[in-house]
Homo-oligomer: A and B are copies of this chain.
Amino acid sequence: MKINVVRSVLDASDALAAENRRRMDEARLLCVNLLSAPGSGKTTLLEKSLPALGEGIRAGVLVGDLQTTRDAERLAGAAAQVTQINTGRGCHLSPAQVAQGLSGLDLADLDYLFIENVGNMVCPAAFDLGEHRRAVLLSVPEGDDKVAKYPTLFQKADVILLTKVDLVGVLDYRFDRVRDDLAKVNTAAPVIRCSPKTGDGVAEWVAWLREQRAAMPR
């Protein structure tokens, strides 16, 4: 007799995430999970960068929020396919919700899929959703102490975007503090300074995305 043991909630969650990844590998699309505090500019970054991915390149977005379809509406013009996932009181997207979201998309018709997670610097960091890469945004007005205060979020980042850099002039902000704190938790991820509002740094982010996609196994 074989006894099956589900060792933990996270084990079951990781199995669902692996299945999500398998589906996206099969469709040969690159999936990037975007994590940040509320209002760091995840939606604005996607609005500005999706059209810059290139002629004929198709991007989908699964966007998570407790309530409203506001972000999905904002992205409707820039993305080829968009699905809003409302989590109610849920503080992060789960791989089961992403699996459901994937089933509503035509994956074969996408080159990229972006998952815009619930705005939260803590809980989303603990859940693999099946993404290939994890992008963490940190906006200048949140302050230069956030890497030290929320290290788990930054430890697992494949790329870190310092957003709203156009506000550095009007705030007391020290990039050296962020750099020193990052040196303790993650030295592998490139750091891109950007302002999706002014367009600064968007080209660098798009170049990073293209490189990641080019590096996928064919």
**Residues of chain A having any CB pair with chain B under 8 Å:** 37-39, 65-68, 70, 89-91, 118-123, 126, 139, 141-143, 145-146, 148-152, 164, 167, 170
Contacts and interface: CB of A to CB of B under 8 A. Distances in A.
Contacts of A66: 122, 149-152
Contacts of A139: 39, 141
A94 to B, nearest CB: 14
B70 A145 contact: yes
Nearest to A170: B170
A190 B74 CA distance: 30
23 contacts: A37-B38, A37-B39, A37-B119, A38-B142, A38-B149, A38-B150, A39-B141, A39-B142, A39-B143, A66-B122, A66-B149, A67-B148, A67-B151, A68-B145, A68-B149, A70-B149, A89-B152, A91-B123, A119-B149, A119-B150, A120-B123, A167-B167, A170-B170
A123 B121 contact: no
Copies in the complex: 2
B170 A167 contact: yes
Contact of A122 (B120, B164, B167): B120
A151 B70 CA distance: 14
Given A91-B122, A120-B120, 4 more contacts: A38-B121, A38-B150, A91-B91, A119-B149
A137 B152 CA distance: 24
Contacts of A145: 68, 70
